[in-house]
């Protein structure tokens, strides 16, 4: 039985901001090609790059009152730069695929199994 795993690309916000445009485009091209190879292998369910947390907003509801906090989030040392949702036979397979990710050269790839609300 297979399970779904999310590979989260965790990177430092300052690294993304300081990267030259050409280097950023090269990295993106490598990631797109890698995603295409995962599709060809039949394991990719979805993937996307996420914009910087400079444009993000955090929403909380406490005691019935909603509060919003606009980015950038100064206290954040890391941000989620993108994700890959995989269907794998095992956790070991998901970890192996994470080790092939080009972004592992400049970021951390966090592997998380998709759970249920009861997990």
Domain ranges, ordered by start, for the chain: 3-113
Share of the chain above pLDDT 90, in %: 66
- CA 32 → CA 50, 83, 113, distances in Å? 14, 12, 22
pLDDT of residue 119: 66
Average pLDDT over residues 49-72: 90
pLDDT of 20 above 70: yes
| Residues 7/98, Cβ–Cβ less than 8 Å | yes
Mean pLDDT for the chain overall: 91
Task: Tell whether the model's pLDDT for residue 57 goes beyond 80.
Answer: yes
Average pLDDT of the residues in 18-36: 89
Fold of the CATH domain 3-113? Alpha-Beta Plaits (3.30.70)
């Amino acid at each position: 039985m297979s399970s779904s795993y999310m590979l989260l690309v965790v990177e430092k916000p300052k690294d993304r901001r300081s990267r030259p445009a050409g280097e950023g485009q090269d990295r993106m091209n490598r990631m797109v090609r890698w995603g295409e190879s995962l599709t060809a292998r039949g394991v990719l369910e979805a993937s996307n790059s996420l914009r910087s947390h400079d444009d993000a907003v955090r929403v909380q509801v406490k005691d019935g009152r909603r509060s919003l906090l606009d980015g950038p989030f100064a206290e954040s040392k890391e941000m989620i730069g993108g994700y890959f949702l995989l269907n794998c036979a095992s956790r070991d397979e998901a970890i192996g695929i994470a080790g092939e990710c080009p972004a592992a050269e400049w970021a951390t790839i966090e592997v998380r199994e998709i759970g249920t609300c009861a997990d």
